[in-house]
Amino acid sequence: MNTHQLSAQEVESIQASFINKVYGWMCLALTITGFVALRAQSSEMLMNILAGNQLLFFMIVIAELGLVVWLSRSIDHMTSNKAVALFLLYSALNGLTFSILFLVYTSASIASTFFITAGTFGATSAYGYFTQKDLSSWGNILFMGLIGIIIASVVNMFLASEALYWMISYAGVLLFVGLTAYDTQKIKKLSLQIKKDSEEGRKGAIMGALTLYLDFINMFIFMLRIFGNRR
């Protein structure tokens, strides 16, 4: 898309329309995740199966990771409808695994943490969208931070250090706050490179929604470790 031929108002309209579409898909996925989690935790039989069968639980987690990798790497070779189906399937599977959180934390603290996360995510995403500062330089730093969080989390599975647990939790929140702003600005820039209503544009919106969905979910998990009240 040749942005030099567009007025400032047209550019703003294109960006706003595309980001609204991205947010729409992200909110739909979050709604599905929340609905499935609530329905699953209300079923004693299903919770017993998920909590009592570690192999099944990890198979679901592996399936989720596989869906994200498949969608991210192969979206150029699939239709937008297939991309939507895989994204929504992933959000539903995520709801199943998230239902386990109700066994660990109180429902009230899960709800309050969700709203804290939503407020933080919204403010941070708004910053990424409206700031005139170029955040592209954050990319490598945030990626290295993500790798560091993953490595530290794996190490702490064996060390079981409470101090490291809290360090990872707070660092995780800061990391995904940064990623939310960075990814939002990146999606905003993408809106001027593709046509929103084209097949490419629809797939771009799905990938943008998946990116922000993952930022939100991970921010929520780290915040729950900080604010959640354990049963």
pLDDT tens for 198-221 read 899 999 999 999 999 999 999 999
Nearest-10 Cα torsion for 111, 17, 10, 15: 60
pLDDT tens for 66-112 read 999 999 999 999 999 999 999 999 999 999 999 999 999 999 999 99
Between CA 150 and CA 29 the distance in angstroms is 24
Between CA 15 and CA 175 the distance in angstroms is 25
Q: What pLDDT band is residue 149 in, cutting at 50, 70 and 90? A: very high
pLDDT tens for 170-188 read 999 999 999 999 999 999 9
Give residue limits of the domains in the chain. Answer: 3-227
Q: What pLDDT band is residue 4 in, cutting at 50, 70 and 90? A: low
Between CA 125 and CA 117 the distance in angstroms is 12
pTM (two decimals): 0.94
3-state secondary structure of 100: coil
